A and B are shown apart, each in its own frame.
Chain A
């Protein structure tokens, strides 16, 4: 039978260490909504999502009450809209009308984000894909809750450099379109390599075409729990350190598994995966960077950071995998800058640079995330940064992503405030040397060789 110490431990994790379930994400396929008539298409999308998700928020709240565990976000992901809108959309405005539909249904059912305003163009772009990508600035500046992602590369296909070039331009345009709100639109736009079909986390969530009609995916969190557990083993060797992370990750993930199964039962939607991620928030004590400091670094970014992050990421997976029957999504430690107080402190202290962040993304999920850069950064420079990050994902057979925010009208040393879970960030300097000729070549980078790995 459960004893008092176990109850106290669990409740301390929840009350003092910010243990929560970060998101229940309901994936909904929109393939059966496809229509060549734009109005009909929008109507079908609205109704399908509304019917599937009308009880999502109340169910999440009920589970939260029953187990006494906060479930921070309830969200929806849908089939990439480039596939759904291709037959009906002839202009960027046509595509943006679908974004408006997604935004209004998200507000109606009460979810805070809806992901899937996406295109999968890792090898080539159809006219619809390209039109959707070109509509992203308009879509993100006219909606509030829609998130967009574009997959521009994969280990199997290589990197679509035409799409990389275009995304550099679109990120800058999105920043320009939303400059009144400190270029907030870019916080809802991710460029991926090897994007997973079942990711529950925004802004990159979409419902892959290989998925069932509806699915429940859950993302857990708990950097504060890991940090607190590690405080008790200060000075111990790596074996003790790793065991502690593993055991903690197991406990955190079990909560996610329980919530996922309950939500699946109550909504009568199959359970997809649990995403084993350490997802920070700007709240004090909910930071991945603080874990790195607890492992022994003065600041995130100090020498040793990549190794510390590698072991953290690996142990989280090792502990989490046994705790859940199905694991998927991004599964790793997130290192967003603006959403993590410890990362912000590290940037302000001068310990953490864009280049070090790039190195860190080699060993963890997901990539260059929520990084504010000067608003006068060239589109080709953004494309160059994207290409570098995509190359890391392609060669290492992992997901990588870029979510950069060129803040129009602001420069290095200034701070940008996004609010809520998105946090705030000091604007980081970007390497000023040109990569124009590289980005402007056009075409694609071939897939890497999959054998002869040495």
Chain B
């Protein structure tokens, strides 16, 4: 399983999760975990997804999600899980 962490940060608005999830579904990316909060009007979401079945290159997905984020007015970042795993686990 190739896990990727998607973080979405920005001003809260209607349909952020819907739009991100639609993109993921259309590209064969399976969501494993979602956690989300709103702090002082700011939307903060972290998703763990499995990109094994994805038809695209990682870089293209990252670019397209970043562009989608710009449309909605939030910042969307994709990073492979290893960077967090390495940094926070011995």
B79 touching A62, Cβ below 8 Å: no
Q: Is the CB of A255 within 8 A of B87?
A: yes
Find residues 242-299 in chain A having any chain B CB closer than 8 Å to their own CB: 251, 254-255, 257-258
Contact A66 B79, beta carbon cutoff 8 Å: yes
Decide if B77 is an interface residue (CB 8 Å cutoff).
yes
Residue of A8, A65, A255 touching B58 (CB-CB under 8 A): A65
The A interface, classified by DSSP as helix, strand, loop or mixed, is helix
Residues of A within 8 A of B59 (CB): 62, 65-66
A51 within 8 A of partner (CB): no
Q: Tell me if A441 counts as interface (CB < 8 A to partner B).
A: no
The reply to whether B58 and A7 contact each other, CB–CB distance below 8 Å, is no
> B56-79 interface mask toward A, CB cutoff 8 Å, 1 = contact, 0 = none?
001100100000000000000111
Q: Considering the chains assembled together, what is the distance between the CA atoms of A255 and B84 in angstroms?
A: 9
A-B contact count (CB 8 A): 59
CA distance A11 to B82 in the complex (A): 13
Q: For residue B46, which residue of chain A has the nearest CB? A: A4
Contact of B82 among A7, A8, A258 (CB under 8 A): A258
Is B33's beta carbon under 8 Å from chain A?
yes
A2 part of interface (Cβ distance < 8 Å): yes
**A-side contacts of B84, CB under 8 Å:** 2, 6-7, 10
A-B contact pairs, 16 of them (CB 8 A): A1-B48, A2-B81, A2-B88, A4-B37, A4-B44, A6-B84, A6-B87, A7-B84, A8-B44, A10-B83, A11-B77, A66-B79, A251-B88, A254-B86, A258-B83, A322-B90
A: residues with CB less than 8 A from B are 1-4, 6-11, 62, 65-69, 251, 254-255, 257-258, 322
Known: A251-B87, A254-B86. 20 other contacts (CB 8 A): A1-B48, A2-B48, A2-B81, A2-B88, A4-B37, A4-B46, A6-B84, A7-B7, A9-B88, A11-B77, A67-B79, A67-B80, A67-B82, A68-B77, A68-B79, A69-B83, A255-B83, A257-B86, A258-B83, A258-B86
Which 5 residue pairs spanning A and B have beta carbons closest together? A68-B79, A67-B83, A254-B86, A6-B88, A2-B84
